[in-house]
Amino acid sequence: MSEADAGAGATPHWRVGIIGAGPGGLGLAIRLVQSGRRDFVLFEASDGVGGTWRWNTYPGAACDVPSHLYSYSFALKADWSKTYANQPEILEYFEECADRYGIRPHLRPHTRIRTATWDDMAHRWHLVDAGGGHFSCDVLVSAIGTFTTPSYPDIAGLGDFAGPSFHSARWEHEHDLAGKRVAVIGTGASAAQIIPELAKIAEQVDVYQRTPQWILPRSDKPFSDEDKQRFARSKRAAKKHRNEIYWAFENTIAFRYEDGAADGLKALALGHIDYRIKDAELKAKLTPDYPFGCKRTLICSDFYKALLRDDVELVTDGIKGVTKGGVVTVDGTGRPADVIVLATGFKATEYLEGIEVVGRGGRRLHDDWATAQVAHAYKGLTVSGYPNFFMMYGPNTNQGGNSIIIILEAQATYIMSALSAMRRHRARAVDVRREVMDAYNKELVKALDGTLWHDGCQSYFKNAAGKIATQLPQTSRWYADQTKRFKMKEYERV
Ligand code: NAP
């Protein structure tokens, strides 16, 4: 029964409920429509599709994966304006996909799912949203993303600051920053994009860096009309271009000590610093002392340039606190600020933050993960004890090198294969066998050992227990192979 079929007062029910209309959830919705399945809903907390590209509207927001690869393989876009598109163009792309594939009627915006409870008797998920609305579905997919919940720093006095202070992912556009003194806390991927743009308008930008980043230069060029026409005329040319980027990215994954790939990239990053920064003191402040690849590498050409401006200061003394009028560092120096931007990242390892998932016999997913000291799943997709529940961009599926779209498409393929297998086998509910999940995770832990992510740095890859919860230590091709077919024998029918 779909929502339309539900009688007055009945709980709306669908075959498939997807939480999150970002690139993952939207991509799965399109695959469902393409296969003729229309009995599904796309719950979305915000007012529309796009996920991270809807939330992150900060100045300079862009993707550091080339756009022809950061788009669905089945919905190539011929007229990307430049190599690395900015956020408005990426959001527009996902909006267009929602229209083109008829996803809007399935979208339920302003619906933030808070609890999902498996009903052992009825073989379905009961969902409750933040407004108290009740829904149900046979199969539940969480596609809420990894960089979803902003991480706010615990800095003394931050609440006393007199001016606006906001997180990079919740940009408050109502403040005119022209002529203002802006403090930016953090120097990750978001900050590196924000700072060059802020520098153009603010009177002064103070950049508070806790840890320097390894940064590779980015060559961003507009596509010529000729290029765009060529891609529009020939799908083959567009696919060829995409494949070339795919293989370039697939080949430059550097996460193991022994593969040596990191050495070449590290040399490139050091050359980048040398080329841009001539001042020895500034160079020392910007040169990381941890292995290349330990944290997520930034791909950005204008961050160093921005730091060379007279109206931009890199501050590396730790932050002692914030006062009404600015930021004070541990050496006692106070720097006045009108606005504070918290580019302090996300709670990436805290999967399904804000959603309570209750499985078979009343078990709680967050309790299971707390016991194991790390969020885990079979192939990042399914968890034993939680039937008919799939995650997109779940634990250990953040593939360090290639486009996340490749991973999300692989996960959509797996879920589509599961739906077909369930229909074929007349299985109402499937639950991954514990031994299958455990064996996968044992191999995962082995593969994670010996990666550069373990040593020498703090990063959002690691949770509070020091376990790597986000990263996939294999190639995207390996993962696509792993997920191309759902195998019923790996699942218990419940
Ligand atoms: P991030 O990489 O986690 O960086 C957060 C920054 O804030 C770091 O510099 C961190 O310092 C600093 N920080 C955190 N808490 C702090 C505190 N209490 N005091 C001082 N500094 C503090 O977050 P992000 O820049 O938002 O990027 C997150 C991820 O989003 C990226 O890695 C990427 O996957 C994605 N992203 C992608 C793009 C893209 O182009 N595709 C663009 C933006 C974001 P430490 O390094 O010392 O922890």
Ligand 1 pocket residue status of 389, Cβ below 6 Å? no
Least confident of 309-318, 422-431, 450-459: 450-459
Q: Once rounded to an integer, what is the mean pLDDT over residues 4-10?
A: 59
**Per-residue confidence (pLDDT) for residue 298, from 0 to 100:** 96
Ligand 1 pocket residue status of 344, Cβ below 6 Å? yes
**Per-residue confidence (pLDDT) for residue 77, from 0 to 100:** 97
**Per-residue confidence (pLDDT) for residue 1, from 0 to 100:** 45
Ligand 1 pocket residue status of 153, Cβ below 6 Å? yes
Query: In angstroms, what is the C-alpha Rg of the chain?
Result: 23
Nearest CA to ligand 1 atom 14: 344
Q: Once rounded to an integer, what is the mean pLDDT over residues 379-391?
A: 98
Spatial distance between the Cα atoms of 108 and 45, rounded to a whole number of angstroms:
8
Q: Once rounded to an integer, what is the mean pLDDT over residues 364-385?
A: 98
pLDDT in tens, 35-64: 999 999 999 999 999 999 999 999 999 999
What is the percentage of the chain residues whose pLDDT exceeds 70?
A: 97
Tell me which amino acid residue 405 is: I
Which residue, 99, 89, 94, is CA-closest to 228? Answer: 89
CA of 171 from ligand 1 middle (Å) equals 15
Ligand 1 pocket residue status of 220, Cβ below 6 Å? no
The band of 450, judged by pLDDT with boundaries at 50, 70 and 90, is confident
Spatial distance between the Cα atoms of 65 and 50, rounded to a whole number of angstroms:
16
Q: Once rounded to an integer, what is the mean pLDDT over residues 22-32?
A: 98
Least confident of 14-18, 75-79, 203-207, 399-403: 399-403
pLDDT in tens, 176-199: 999 999 999 999 999 999 999 999
Tokens of 413: 């393929």
Spatial distance between the Cα atoms of 247 and 245, rounded to a whole number of angstroms:
5
In 422-433, which positions are buried (b, 16+ CB within 10 angstroms) versus exposed (e)?
beeeebebbbbe
Spatial distance between the Cα atoms of 163 and 390, rounded to a whole number of angstroms:
43
Which residue, 32, 384, 61, is CA-closest to 192? Answer: 61
pLDDT in tens, 213-231: 999 999 999 999 999 999 9
Tokens of 276: 């841009």
CA of 167 from ligand 1 middle (Å) equals 11
Q: What are 108's strand-pairing partners?
A: 43
Q: Torsion-angle region of residue 123: left (phi > 0), alpha (psi -120 to 50) or beta?
A: left
Q: What are 471's strand-pairing partners?
A: 398
**Per-residue confidence (pLDDT) for residue 15, from 0 to 100:** 98
Q: Once rounded to an integer, what is the mean pLDDT over residues 273-279?
A: 97
Ligand 1 pocket residue status of 63, Cβ below 6 Å? yes
**Test site for ligand 1: of 53, 147, 220, 350, most ligand atoms within 8 A of the Cβ:** 147
CA of 463 from ligand 1 middle (Å) equals 15
**Per-residue confidence (pLDDT) for residue 401, from 0 to 100:** 82
pLDDT in tens, 86-107: 999 999 999 999 999 999 999 9
Average pLDDT score over the chain = 95
Helix count (H) and strand count (E) of the chain? 13, 22
The band of 4, judged by pLDDT with boundaries at 50, 70 and 90, is very low
Checking if the pLDDT of 12 tops 60, the result is: yes
Checking if the pLDDT of 417 tops 90, the result is: yes
CA of 191 from ligand 1 middle (Å) equals 7
**Per-residue confidence (pLDDT) for residue 5, from 0 to 100:** 46
CA of 184 from ligand 1 middle (Å) equals 12
Report the 3 state secondary structure along 154-222: CCCCHHHCCCCEEEHHHCCCCCCCCCCEEEEECCCHHHHHHHHHHHHHCCEEEEECCCCCCEECCCCCE
**Per-residue confidence (pLDDT) for residue 254, from 0 to 100:** 56
Contact assessment for residue 40 and residue 163, using Cβ atoms and an 8 Å cutoff: no
* Helix 87-100 with 23-34: angle, nearest 10 deg: 20
**Test site for ligand 1: of 322, 344, 406, most ligand atoms within 8 A of the Cβ:** 344
**Per-residue confidence (pLDDT) for residue 250, from 0 to 100:** 85
User: What phi and psi, each to the nearest 5 degrees, are found at residue 228?
Assistant: -60, -40
**Per-residue confidence (pLDDT) for residue 248, from 0 to 100:** 87
Contact assessment for residue 336 and residue 325, using Cβ atoms and an 8 Å cutoff: yes
CA of 4 from ligand 1 middle (Å) equals 43
Spatial distance between the Cα atoms of 475 and 424, rounded to a whole number of angstroms:
31
Q: Once rounded to an integer, what is the mean pLDDT over residues 242-259?
A: 80
**Per-residue confidence (pLDDT) for residue 425, from 0 to 100:** 97
Spatial distance between the Cα atoms of 437 and 432, rounded to a whole number of angstroms:
7
Spatial distance between the Cα atoms of 51 and 69, rounded to a whole number of angstroms:
18
Ligand 1 pocket residue status of 147, Cβ below 6 Å? yes
